[in-house]
């Protein structure tokens, strides 16, 4: 009996660890499979991050290149306009300088002649020379008044306490200020303001 019991115990004891091991092995295999699937998904996500990052970088570079090209073209256009404005203004100013120089030369000649006349002792000759100088008159002033500005009515606005006037002028470089007059129409009287 004792040997039988021992045999039974040996048999039952030898089967239990095997089942447990098989169960553990099955669980480990299942766990490994889950880990492999999870690792494959993580690798796929990493690859997708790489692809997305490359796409975003490419898009960023493309947009920056477009902006830089727009800025370059705009810079070139503005630079040309600045140079053209400079040439136009310098041309007009050079003409005004030439006119001033011509007036100054004529004025200097008249001054020299007047000083020479004042030294003349012969009264008849003095009168004749003075008359000739007077007929020549003072040097003509070739400076012209600037043109009035052109009001851009479509850009002008008015509210209960503000009036905004837009204008353009070809002579803006030689004019320091403009005087603005406007009329307020009321039910009783019209007021003219400056």
Residue 31 included in any domain:
yes
* pLDDT score at 74: 94
The tally of domains found in the chain comes to 1
Residue 192 included in any domain:
no
Residue 53 included in any domain:
yes
* pLDDT score at 158: 79
- Tell me if residue 18 falls in helix, strand or coil: helix
**Percent over 90 (pLDDT), the chain:** 40
Residue 147 included in any domain:
no
* pLDDT score at 17: 79
Gap between the Cα atoms of 44 and 26, Å rounded? 27
Q: Is it the case that residue 143 has pLDDT exceeding 70?
A: no
Q: What is the mean pLDDT of residues 150-172?
A: 76
Q: What is the mean pLDDT of residues 146-165?
A: 77
pLDDT band, residue 182 (cuts 50/70/90): low
Report yes or no: 143 and 171 within 8 Å, Cβ to Cβ: no
Question: What does DSSP assign to residue 145?
Answer: P
Residue 173 included in any domain:
no
Residues in contact with 174: Cβ distance below 8 Å, sequence separation at least 6, in sequence order: 92, 96, 146
Residue 100 included in any domain:
yes
Question: What does DSSP assign to residue 149?
Answer: P
Structure confidence by residue, pLDDT tens digits, 12-52: 445 557 788 888 889 999 999 999 999 999 999 999 999 99
Q: Is it the case that residue 183 has pLDDT exceeding 70?
A: no
Domain region containing 108 = 17-137
Report yes or no: 77 and 84 within 8 Å, Cβ to Cβ: no
Residue 191 included in any domain:
no
The mean pLDDT of the chain is 78
pLDDT band, residue 66 (cuts 50/70/90): very high
Q: What is the pTM of this model?
A: 0.42
Which one has a higher pLDDT value, 5 or 41? 41
Residue 57 included in any domain:
yes
Q: Check the CA dihedral 61-66-67-73 and report its sign.
A: positive
Of 15-24, 58-67, 90-99, 184-193, the poorest mean pLDDT is in 184-193
**How many C-beta neighbours within 10 Å does residue 25 have?**
10
- Tell me if residue 193 falls in helix, strand or coil: strand
Structure confidence by residue, pLDDT tens digits, 101-139: 999 998 898 888 888 878 877 777 777 777 766 666 655
């Amino acid at each position: 009996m004792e040997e039988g019991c021992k045999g039974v115990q040996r048999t039952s004891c030898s089967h239990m660890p095997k089942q447990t091991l098989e169960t553990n092995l099955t669980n480990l295999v299942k766990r490994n499979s889950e880990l492999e699937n999870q690792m494959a998904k993580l690798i796929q996500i990493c690859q997708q991050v790489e692809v997305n990052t490359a796409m975003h970088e490419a898009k960023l570079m493309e947009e920056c290149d477009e902006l830089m090209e727009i800025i370059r073209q705009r810079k070139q256009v503005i630079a040309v306009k600045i140079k053209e404005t400079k040439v136009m203004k310098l041309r007009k100013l050079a003409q005004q300088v030439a006119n001033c120089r011509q007036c100054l030369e004529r004025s200097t000649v008249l001054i020299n002649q007047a000083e020479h006349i004042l030294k003349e002792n012969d009264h008849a000759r003095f009168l004749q020379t003075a008359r000739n100088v007077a007929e020549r008159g003072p040097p003509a002033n070739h400076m012209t008044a600037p043109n009035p500005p052109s009001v851009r009515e479509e850009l002008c606005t008015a509210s209960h306490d503000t009036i905004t006037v837009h204008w353009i002028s070809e002579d803006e470089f030689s004019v320091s200020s403009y005087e603005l007059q406007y009329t307020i129409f009321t039910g009783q009287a019209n007021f003219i303001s400056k």
